[in-house]
Amino acid sequence: MTVNGDYNFNDLINEREWRKCAPDSTDPQVLLKGFVYFCENYWSIRHPEKGRIRFNLFEAQIETVESWLNTRYSLILKARQIGFSTLVAAFCYWLAFFYSDRPILMLSRTEREAIKLLQKAKYGRQFLPEWMDWRGGPCNTTQTKMEFTNGSYIESLPSASDPARGESAYLVVVDELAFLQNSEEAWSAIEPVADVGGRVIMLSTANGEGNLFHRLWVGATTGNNRFTPLFFPWSANGRSQDWYEAKKLDLPEWVLAQEYPDNAEDAFLKSGRPVFNLERLRQIEVRQPLARGYLTQDLKFVPDGGALRLWTYPTTEGVYTIGADPSQGFEHGDYSSVHVISARTHEVVAHWHGHIDPDLLGSEILAPLGR
């Protein structure tokens, strides 16, 4: 400002630029335009070959941010190394820096990965123009947190630290959900945060079928949960077919499907180092059970829709074998699973699937089934 308190020409230009980057609007399209303008004019990223460059978003990244601004629950299945960690860091910084009272939590697999994710935001910040940095105010920075004077902050932590429980967050970002060792526990802590008005962004490469990420993806693509699904293949950032053909020569099929998928179905079907041929498993006939309920200690079946499913009632001539996979027994953790198989036909004739203390699995489930 000038001595007499009037704005000089540079101050007016800077104020105009600030408002272009951070529109005072709730319209997602207006906000998207502001974010793209900020990235392409002020945000710097580190390119592995070119060094420091401006962050010019490609079409898939713009589509993703548009989804983030329009929906509260976003689920992204993506190829590796197409710039989505960089996008997340820029988006979180933009939200916290320009807008007040936006607590943001970023969860990663390990502490090292959490620090690296936040480092992308720190890198971009250090190259902002001086006037913008001054306008935004001081930032208190640690290895895992950036805290702004406007009441917003970004905290990046490993998922094992359970950082979301008890928090009130505007946004929770979960990176590489399919590879978290405690994904069920992490989601049980995150879900209440989102349920009171917060937002959730989950993104990952595939890691086989049956895990939390795969189940959420199936639910999202069939309209059975609140997530908006987005899939981005290896070509989303403009890679050529020649590049992909070279990768095919270098990598096993399951690694290629996991790291650089061509379609969502193959990403799940062929990734995760599957023990069995999943295409063959899908050919096995699947039938609805005759009944669902539970077995009492005096061996009476109560059909109340419980954890025990029956396809065939036992006979005195039958020969059966039972296999069990116990879990740790946490309420929101993995399920314990018990299969009863006919030794003569090799068909599954009963299946118990539920949460139970592993010390009780034998006495309350296996013993009655065996008798």
Query: 36-79: per-residue pLDDT in tens?
Result: 999 999 999 998 889 999 999 999 999 999 999 999 999 999 99
In the chain, helix, strand, coil percent, each to 5? 40, 20, 40
Kindly state whether residues 34 and 96 are assigned to the same domain. yes
CATH number of 318's domain? 3.30.420.240
Q: What is the pTM of this model?
A: 0.74
Kindly state whether residues 296 and 274 are assigned to the same domain. no
Kindly state whether residues 212 and 320 are assigned to the same domain. no
Kindly state whether residues 152 and 106 are assigned to the same domain. yes
CA pair distance 77, 68, nearest whole angstrom: 14
Average pLDDT over residues 128-143: 92
CATH number of 198's domain? 3.40.50.300
Query: Are the C-beta atoms of residues 231 and 78 closer than 8 Å to each other?
Result: yes
Both structure tokens of 234: 């290896």
Query: 279-334: per-residue pLDDT in tens?
Result: 677 677 778 899 999 888 888 899 988 899 999 999 989 999 999 999 876 665 67
Q: Is 6 inside any structural domain?
A: no
Both structure tokens of 142: 């640690």
Amino acid (1-letter code) at residue 225: N
Structural domain harbouring 80: 19-278
Query: 139-195: per-residue pLDDT in tens?
Result: 999 999 999 999 999 999 887 756 555 567 899 999 999 998 888 888 888 888 777
Kindly state whether residues 131 and 213 are assigned to the same domain. yes
Kindly state whether residues 350 and 327 are assigned to the same domain. yes
Specify the number of domains making up the chain.
2
Kindly state whether residues 363 and 230 are assigned to the same domain. no
Domain closes at, from 231, 247, 278? 278
Domain closes at, from 244, 278, 312? 278
